[in-house]
Amino acid sequence: MDRLYFRPLVIEDKEQLLHIYSDKDAMQYRGSKPLETIEEAENMVHQVHKEWDSRTKMRMAVIEKDTEVLIGTAMYFFESPTAVEIGFSIGRDFWKYGYGQEGTEGLMEYIKANEPKVTTIVGIARSGNEKSLKMMANIGFVEVSDYEVEGKRRFEINY
């Protein structure tokens, strides 16, 4: 990645996490409700560490190289031993810079390098989230045509 890098989330990220994850409009396509308090942001960091340690969900901070600012998070979890679902959330202040695509491609490279058994990467996007749908198509994800659950559409890329 040219402009971004990943690192573990740390408790010092709580203010920026709250800023990003409390924006109801920006978080409208996420599966969980927006954060409301700094304590919820702290709890999110602690939960991320527990999930990482147990390998149930691998979530990382996405940092803008030039400013060292947390712009969002990237995550993946295993659907099966050979398939992971990925997710990427970016704060509204960082939209329209191409960070979603750059970060998603970087996450895919991270998975390829660190999870050698994985052959399929899955992306889920809600109908109406046109920017994510377009970005996944640009990267090469293919929609699984017989899958739509509660307005969610499934895309896959194999390598």
Q: How many domains does the chain have?
A: 1
pLDDT tens digits, one per residue of 32-75: 788 999 999 999 999 999 999 999 999 999 999 999 999 999 99
Query: Which residue segment(s) compose the domain that 115 sits in?
Result: 4-158
C-alpha span between 113 and 109 (Å, rounded):
6
% of residues, the chain, pLDDT over 90:
69
* CATH number of the domain to which 26 belongs: 3.40.630.30
What's the mean pLDDT when you consider all of the chain? Answer: 91
